[in-house]
Amino acid sequence: EAAVTQSPRNKVTVTGGNVTLSCRQTNSHNYMYWYRQDTGHGLRLIHYSYGAGNLQIGDVPDGYKATRTTQEDFFLLLELASPSQTSLYFCASSDQTGQNTLYFGAGTRLSVL
């Protein structure tokens, strides 16, 4: 069973705060993704990567940075958090491009006060 682990599971910060969300996959997958899930919007792609050191911009990248340090680890950075970034964040991995299944982590619920 493919495994994607996110940490923390819950995070509360204040406006202007600095937050890092972590994701590790043990699937030996090339692709990793960060999504945010919001009521009325479904899942929206923030950033993704196809390997260590690579970063691709998703559909809603503003206010977010990401870094892929190894094949296993992908981080999402909010350097000046805003209330609009309060959301449920999911990390996912896949072996290849669109035809392959995405394996999701359990999510990180972030609240920006």
Task: Give residues in contact with another protein (CB under 8 A).
Answer: 4, 31, 40-45, 48, 50, 58, 90, 92, 96-99, 101-102, 104-107
| Smallest gap from residue 14 Cβ to another protein (A) | 25
Cβ 73 to another protein, closest distance in Å?
Answer: 18
Q: Rank residues 15 and 101 by Cβ distance to another protein and give the closer one.
A: 101
Given the complex with another protein, which of 6 and 85 has the nearer CB atom?
6
> Min. distance of Cβ 19 from another protein in angstroms?
19
Q: Minimum Å distance from CB 80 to another protein?
A: 27
Tell me how crowded residue 69 is: count the other CB atoms within 10 A of its CB: 10
What is the phi/psi pair of residue 83, to 5°? Answer: -55, -30
For 34-52, letters b (16+ CB in 10 Å) and e give bbbeeeeeebebbbbbeee
Nearer to another protein, 74 or 107 (CB): 107
C-alpha span between 109 and 57 (Å, rounded) = 22
CA proximity to 48, closest of 30, 63, 24, 28? 30
Which is closer to another protein, CB of 4 or CB of 66? Answer: 4
Residue 4: count of CB within 10 angstroms of its CB: 23
